[in-house]
Amino acid sequence: MRVVLAEDLFLLRDGLVRMLEAFDFEILAAVETGPELSRALAELRPDVAVVDVRLPPSHTDEGLQCALEARRERPGLPVLVLSQHVEQLYARELLADGNGGIGYLLKDRVFDAEQFVDAVRRVAAGGTAMDPQVISQLLSRRARDEPLGGLTPREREVMELMAQGRSNAAIASRMVVTERAVAKHTSNIFGKLGLPVCDDDNRRVLAVLAYLDRGRDGR
């Protein structure tokens, strides 16, 4: 699997390169600035981009914006964004086109090699990988805006795991229940939230995330 990596801190960039190569990823380029990232994405056409949100020269959200621009030029380009802190605006921008192949992880997650590599693979395959802390904040904000459709605590737990991009099988394993029980919970969740039921894992994740990200203004 071919990867373009963008991270301005040398030690972290070097560590990510070594980690990904250890799991048989091919690193096409490991860059440290926004302009370098834009060129690499345009010229090398990777299978997935792993991108730090904040890159030189602006040190604001240049990495994210470069990745989103590349995604507009090449729809569906898988992008996994890394951030030091939870920023709900970044999650919203990633989700804006309603397509998969996206991920948003806090940098703390990269220290768990298996979790990080699983996220890269999931995003590269067109799936979704959202950091649990991002989901937790979206849930909290949505709950403040209005009740979450009368969900039970168990259903909220299922929804949180589903929004992270986990399959029914993975949710069942985590919660130590049957897949049939998880399927029943997800059906209840979609019914209570007024969302269309869908068998495609990624579409249901995006539907839940879109629901959680809607604020008082209807976004």
Which residue intervals of 74-200 are DSSP H helices?
Answer: 88-95, 113-124, 132-145, 153-163, 168-175, 179-193
Q: Across residues 160-186, what is the average pLDDT?
A: 93
User: CATH number for the 2-130 domain, one of 3.40.50.620, 1.10.357.10, 3.60.110.10, 3.40.50.2300?
Assistant: 3.40.50.2300
Give the residue with greater pLDDT, 180 vs 212: 180
Question: pLDDT tens digits, residue range 16-39?
Answer: 999 999 999 999 999 999 999 999
Share of the chain above pLDDT 70, in %: 97
Q: Across residues 1-8, what is the average pLDDT?
A: 97
**pTM (whole model) above 0.75:** yes
Instruction: Compute the mean pLDDT over every residue in the chain, rounded to the nearest whole number.
Output: 89
For residue 5, list its beta bridge partners. 30, 50
Q: Across residues 103-127, what is the average pLDDT?
A: 92
pLDDT at 218: 42
Please name which of 161, 157, 149, 164 lies closest in space to residue 195, comparing C-alpha atoms.
Answer: 149
Task: Evaluate whether 63 touches 6 at the Cβ level (below 8 Å).
Answer: yes
Question: Where are the chain's structural domains?
Answer: 2-130, 134-213
Please give the CATH number for the structural domain made up of 134-213.
1.10.10.10
